[in-house]
Amino acid sequence: MPLIQQQNVHRHKKVIAAADAAGRSLSVAAVENDFVERVYDKLASVYDLTFGPTLHAGRVQALQRMVVAPGSRILEVGVGTGINATLYPRDCEVVGIDFSASMLEKARERFERKGITNVRLLQMDAADLKFADNSFDIVYAPYLISVVPDPVQVAAEMRRVCRPGGQIIFLNHFRSRNPLMARAERLISPFTVHIGFKADLDLPEFLSQADLRPVSIEKVNIPKIWSLVTCVKQ
Ligand SMILES: C[S@@+](CC[C@H](N)C(=O)[O-])C[C@H]1O[C@@H](n2cnc3c(N)ncnc32)[C@H](O)[C@@H]1O
């Protein structure tokens, strides 16, 4: 049990047990919220440097895929340091949620520096969103879904809070279709969780378990090993 923190086993036993059978086929790595939260609390001060410019092309492309109108309600799940905030049109109402207090503090500092007023920040677990059904036009998870313990539960919550006809968008690294690369990703995944993500999340299996049918899947960033997955809620 390398990554499951012993002291939290009892508190999270039910969650892990439920996620286990389905989760094993998604990734070889198992994590819990407490572990992920600690990783991101530590990463907060260096996040923009390490995951900023290298992953930014994908963020820009995701914004280009969004069908945005004045007043559109957008939910960013895993808002982190608020690195996407300047990309959203100022006439949209954006809510950014994250469970890491340190990442949210960085986002607050950024918004103050840049005068961003249309993005509201809330501390919340992506697997248990505190919003009513159908609350948003666009629900967007940039670089989040391979981070969370139960990606399928997070996708279910994203779908629930998205209005019918709205967009559900994932920007993420998923397991390669190249068998050699896929094997390497499976091997390193128990280690990459220490720097914030599972390297081997299986996209087709994730989409199937989450019952999502994407309208497009595009390869983004350089090298093109990240995917921009756009779905529309039926
Ligand atoms: C890789 S960062 C992505 C940040 C930003 N969206 C970006 O484009 O770079 C992942 C973020 O998701 C947050 N996170 C991880 N698991 C979460 C959960 N279960 N609920 C809410 N936030 C979570 C982390 O704290 C971290 O800030």
Q: Which residues line ligand 1 (CB under 6 A)?
A: 33, 36, 40, 51, 59, 78-80, 83-84, 97-100, 103, 125-127, 142-144, 147-148, 196
Contacts of 211 (CB under 8 A, 6+ apart): none
Per-residue pLDDT reduced to its tens digit, 97-110 = 999 999 999 999 99
Provide the angle, in degrees to the nearest 10, between the axes of the packed helices 9-26 and 151-161. 90
User: Ligand 1 centre and the CA of 9: distance in Å?
Assistant: 22
Quick one: pLDDT at residue 25? 81
Quick one: pLDDT at residue 13? 37
User: Ligand 1 centre and the CA of 76: distance in Å?
Assistant: 10
Whether the per-residue pLDDT at 148 is higher than 80: the answer is yes
d(CA 198, CA 29): 7
Whether the per-residue pLDDT at 4 is higher than 70: the answer is no
Residues of the chain with pLDDT > 90, as a percent, come to 87
CA dist 75 → 88, 92, 175 (Å): 11, 10, 26
Per-residue pLDDT reduced to its tens digit, 13-69 = 333 333 444 555 899 998 899 999 999 999 999 999 999 999 999 999 999 999 999
Q: Tell me the residue type at 71.
A: G
Mean pLDDT in residue range 122-126: 98
The model carries a pTM of: 0.90
Per-residue pLDDT reduced to its tens digit, 66-95 = 999 999 999 999 999 999 999 999 999 999
The tokens describing 71, both together, are: 């007043």
